[in-house]
Each structure stands twice: as C-alpha cells, then as structure tokens.
Amino acid sequence: MSLRIDIGHRIGELNLSVAFSVESGVTALFGPSGSGKTTVLKAISGLLHPDHGKIDIAGRSVFDREKGINFPTHKRQVGYVFQDARLFPHLTVKGNLEYAYKFADRGRKLDRKIVDLLGIGPLLERRIDGLSGGERQRVAIARALFSDPKILLLDEPMAALDEPRKREIFPYLERLRDEAGLPIIYVSHSLSEVARLASQIATLKDGKMASFGATSDVMSNPTLVQDLGIRTAGSVLRAQVENHFPDGISELRTSVGSLFIPSVTAPLESVINLRILARDVIISLSKPENISALNILPAKVVSIKKGEGPGTIVELASGEDRILARITSRSAETLGLSVNTPCFAIIKSLSINPGEVWT
C-alpha cells in the first residue's frame, strides 16, 4: 500500500503546493489553521480537484490533470474519518457498518477482525445517540475500514474529545496503526498526538511543505520550532524501563544514564517513548549538587538558534539522543554557549506529563 501525491491548487488566498510519498503507517500533517492540511485530504479523497499534479493510491493513478485522469471519490478506495464522526443517527452501530458494504468488494458478513481491532463488539446493537464521543469515533473508523480502503484519512479525529475520551481512544488508534497495514494520513493540531502516533510528519505553512521526515527528527530539529509551536516544542527519547519504586517514581535507562519520571505501567525491560518539552530543560555548565531535580544528563551543544523574541533554542546531544532546551538569549550569552560546549541538561521529574509517555 502506498500514496504518492504531487499537486498544486489555489483556493482563495492559499496557494497549495504539496509533494510527498508514504507507505503503510501513520503520516501526520501538521500546521496552523489555514495551512492546507484538510485541503490535501480533500484532494486525496476526490472531494477537491487540484489545478495541476497527480495522485497515486496503491500504485494506481486516481488523479492526473495532464492525462485527464480523475477518479470519483467512491472509486478511489479511500476511507475518510471526519472530526465529528458523521454517523447516521437513525441506524444502529451495526447498521452504520453495513452501510459501508456498498463501497466494498466483500460479502455482507461483519468483519470480526475490524470489530475486535476497535473494540466495538459490545456496541453493535446500540444507537448512535447513546455512544460517547470516543465510541462514535471508533465506530466511524470501523465504518471507513469496512469500505475496503487502500488508504485511511483521519481529519483531527480527537479534536472534539475531552482528555478522558482521548485517553480512551488512543490505544485503539495505536492498534490501528500497527495492525491495519494501511497508509494513514493523520491531521492534527496536537504535537502530543503526532509524537505518539506518527512515524513521520509533514509540516505545512501557508500551503507549502516546511518539512518532511521521521517524527523524532522533525520534532528535534531546532530550525522547525517556530513551525511546530514554541510552547509545545520538544524532543522524543526512547528509553528502557529499569525500576519501579514505591514512592511513585520509575527509573528509565537512556543512552547516557538514568532518567526518573512519574511511575509508568510499562513492565520492566520494556522500551518506551517520552516527550520532553524544551521549556522544561535547564542547562548547566557544571554538574549541580544539592539540587532537587533528579535528572541531570551529560550533554554537549549541537546548535543554537536565537528566536525573534528573548528566547533561544539550544539543541543538545546526550548520548544517542537529541534534547531541545528553550532558554533566554541572555542565559545563552552568560553561559558562553557555543557548538560543542560540554554541559548538563537538567529535567524535573514531575515536568514529564504521563500523557507524554507511551510504548
């Protein structure tokens, strides 16, 4: 399964120009409102016909302006899940799933693998108005999968959900990513969602692609902090669970030593991911003593990027990991930071949100 897109389109003041290729797994489209994310999804699905370019889905050309190819939406084999689910309220969950058969090359028997994948077996006979927001989104995703798509488009599927409902649906999205075997294009304004779900990310700005690459690389790139959002910028680390302590702290093993965070449920020796916000990292030239912070990681400066305001983003190499720190430009000057300056990254344990830790 694959998607290849290279299109240009003008809509209002937006002059869209996007080109990328993806295989199976989750690719996130990230950017501010009006940057063109949903326009890209509409072009892929056939709800919008670009001014020029071409789109291939699973090796088949579904749009080529120059050759006059333009498959209608129902022949593109695209599953599209919107922010508001858009289920039929007069039908049961089972009825909504059966509706998708008209677009699928299959019999009328419910696919139990999809039902089990999204945990909706107990919901099949219930009406839509009796479901929670998270349950509705799971049913909407299942309905999209029942149409036998070659690609799945998720347009901010959790934007309308509160935090408890987001926590409810996350494990199902992760299973979908790992087991569906489809290219999934995921639009979101949340870096936390993107970090947890996407293997790669395309950032859009004013209709143009600002970056494209592995999620961990893009999120740790100091030159992209403005595009990703200064307050939510950070880096993703992978670490092994070493210990769980009775005081509510777990010890992780990174490439340079121990990292202590609020207790996680992951078993010992398992590998987990965690996101550390740049604003929560302090830099010291010497290893501090008699300090409350538990996490003091040796590092060296890789790059320094001054912002338009009083802030500076410092990229640190800590063993095999990259850590971003957001400090004031005055602090960077006072410390005399430059490329290859040895230092220590200090991270408060309680600054690491449990929602930013995942397997």
pLDDT of residue 310: 92
Under the banding of pLDDT at 50, 70 and 90, the label for residue 103 is: low
Higher pLDDT, 181 or 302: 302
Beta bridge partners of 275: 236
Q: For residues 273 and 174, what is the distance between their CA atoms, to the nearest angstrom?
A: 13
pLDDT of residue 101: 74
Q: For residues 183 and 185, what is the distance between their CA atoms, to the nearest angstrom?
A: 7
pLDDT at residue 102 greater than cutoff 90? no
Q: For residues 1 and 77, what is the distance between their CA atoms, to the nearest angstrom?
A: 12
pLDDT of residue 228: 84
- Pick the closest to residue 151 from 9, 34, 46 (CA basis): 46
pLDDT at residue 108 greater than cutoff 80? no
pLDDT of residue 220: 87
Cα–Cα–Cα angle for 118, 120, 124, nearest 5°?
150
Letter string b/e over residues 174-210, b meaning 16 or more CB atoms within 10 A of that residue's CB: eebbeebebbbbbbbebbbbbbbbbbbbbbbbebebb
pLDDT of residue 19: 96
Mean pLDDT (whole number) for 146-164: 90
pLDDT of residue 166: 86
**Pair of tokens at residue 314:** 């410092």
Under the banding of pLDDT at 50, 70 and 90, the label for residue 111 is: confident
Cβ count within 10 A of residue 126: 15
Higher pLDDT, 103 or 136: 136
Q: For residues 259 and 282, what is the distance between their CA atoms, to the nearest angstrom?
A: 15
**Pair of tokens at residue 51:** 């001014």
Contact 357, 272 (CB under 8 A): yes
Mean pLDDT (whole number) for 324-344: 97
Under the banding of pLDDT at 50, 70 and 90, the label for residue 7 is: very high
**């295989």: which residue's tokens?**
23
Higher pLDDT, 216 or 56: 56
Q: What is the pLDDT of residues 16-62, one digit of tens each?
A: 999 999 988 999 999 988 999 999 999 999 999 999 999 999 999 99
Mean pLDDT (whole number) for 289-312: 93
Q: For residues 197 and 27, what is the distance between their CA atoms, to the nearest angstrom?
A: 9
Cβ count within 10 A of residue 137: 29
pLDDT of residue 137: 93
pLDDT at residue 223 greater than cutoff 90? no
Under the banding of pLDDT at 50, 70 and 90, the label for residue 269 is: very high
216: amino acid identity, one letter: S
Mean pLDDT (whole number) for 335-350: 97
pLDDT at residue 105 greater than cutoff 90? no
83: amino acid identity, one letter: Q
Q: What is the pLDDT of residues 44-53, one digit of tens each?
A: 999 999 999 9
224: three-class secondary structure by DSSP: helix
Which residues make Cβ contacts (< 8 Å) with residue 103, sequence separation at least 6?
A: 74, 147, 148
SS3 content of the chain, % helix, strand, coil (to 5): 30, 40, 35
| CA-CA-CA-CA torsion sign (157, 163, 165, 171) | positive
| 100-104, 266-270, 311-315, 320-324: segment of lowest average pLDDT | 100-104
pLDDT of residue 107: 52
Rounded percentage of the chain residues whose pLDDT exceeds 90: 74
Under the banding of pLDDT at 50, 70 and 90, the label for residue 230 is: confident
Q: For residues 203 and 191, what is the distance between their CA atoms, to the nearest angstrom?
A: 11
pLDDT at residue 100 greater than cutoff 90? no
Mean pLDDT (whole number) for 169-189: 91
Q: For residues 217 and 255, what is the distance between their CA atoms, to the nearest angstrom?
A: 17
Average of per-residue pLDDT values in the chain? 92
Q: Read off the pTM.
A: 0.88
pLDDT of residue 85: 82
Structural domains in the chain, sorted by start: 3-219 (3.40.50.300), 234-358 (2.40.50.100)
